[in-house]
Amino acid sequence: MSMPLRLGVRAHDCGRLGAQELAAKIAAAGLVCTQLALGKAIAGLDLKPGVLNPGLAFDIGQAFARHGVQIAVLGCYINPIHPDPATRAALLGLFKEHLRFARDFGCGLVALETGSVNADYSPHPDNHGEAAFQTSLASIAELVAEAEKFGVLVGIEAVTSHVVSTPAKMRRMLDAVASNNLQVVFDPVNLLSAENCPAQDRIVQESFDLWGDRIVAVHAKDFVCENGTLQFRPVGRGQLNHDLVLDLVRRHKPGISILLEETTPQTVAECVEFLRGKQS
């Protein structure tokens, strides 16, 4: 019998609440882990550079631990190639603070995406050029160097409209940084677009072939292609080949944290039931 799926959710999809209330809500949904983006999820926390500290991190971590919810990922989704150098430096500094205090939360992984040349992270054609890749590489390498000092991991996520947009570009980034402190948060839907979604099976398989050993968390959502655009949906309400994804996850990463996205408190139970139904 295969290991049961280890399911969780992005904390802010359950609301912006105090840590105890948020953890209780996640646990009540039958979930055992979370991706915690502090600024989005924790009520009353004005997250800016210099605010994080060991005591705050410990108290938040303990609130989740008391409810049996692991903080599997700290989300700090800054733009690592922000076009303004001063802003970029400040954002990288904030991410480094998350790395520094991650262990106090009971977490060893801080995640981000690889950037857009637009300040607001919207798509830009230049994201796919060499200059953007090199800028992203420099920022990611800087963050990984900090992670190495504190014995924690940087997790990067590929997105079809960002710098790391394909399985091959992810492999290139991993090779260029050349550190085991750089790992991957795998979101199969984020690698899909209206153009390539018919090839989803190949893209998912290629991801596992090229860097499946480096995956440390999985995001779970769905998609539909309508009117020439790809739109996100809650798990089970779209066209993703979940059987393939879950088969690869079970075989290569048993017990990994699978974190629901695109959910609301009203749809979490439906998503959990769908994924649990795939276990048999």
pLDDT in tens, 202-230: 999 999 999 999 999 999 999 999 999 99
The arithmetic mean of pLDDT across residues 5-22, rounded, is 97
Q: What is the CATH number of the domain that holds 116?
A: 3.20.20.150
**Residue 12, token pair as written in the block:** 């802010």
**Residue 1: inside a domain:** no
Burial of 49 (C-beta count, 10 Å sphere; 0-12/13-18/19+) = exposed
Taking the CA atoms of the chain, what radius of gyration do you get in angstroms?
18
Whether 182 shows a pLDDT value over 90: the answer reads yes
**Residue 244: inside a domain:** yes
**Residue 157: inside a domain:** yes
The arithmetic mean of pLDDT across residues 195-208, rounded, is 97
**Residue 79: inside a domain:** yes
Whether 273 shows a pLDDT value over 60: the answer reads yes
**Residue 69: inside a domain:** yes
pLDDT at 279: 75
Nearest Cα neighbor of 71 from 87, 58, 90 is 58
pLDDT in tens, 56-96: 999 999 999 999 999 999 999 999 999 999 999 999 999 99
The arithmetic mean of pLDDT across residues 7-20, rounded, is 97
* pLDDT band per the 50, 70, 90 thresholds, residue 3: confident
Whether 277 shows a pLDDT value over 90: the answer reads yes
The arithmetic mean of pLDDT across residues 141-153, rounded, is 98
Count of structural domains within the chain: 1
**Residue 119: inside a domain:** yes
Whether 2 shows a pLDDT value over 80: the answer reads no
**Residue 61: inside a domain:** yes
Burial of 95 (C-beta count, 10 Å sphere; 0-12/13-18/19+) = buried
pLDDT at 280: 59
pLDDT at 125: 97
Domain span including residue 237: 6-277
Report the C-alpha gap between 112 and 36 in whole angstroms.
12
The arithmetic mean of pLDDT across residues 111-140, rounded, is 97
The pTM score is 0.97
* pLDDT band per the 50, 70, 90 thresholds, residue 255: very high
Portion of the chain with pLDDT greater than 70, in percent: 99
Whether 1 shows a pLDDT value over 90: the answer reads no
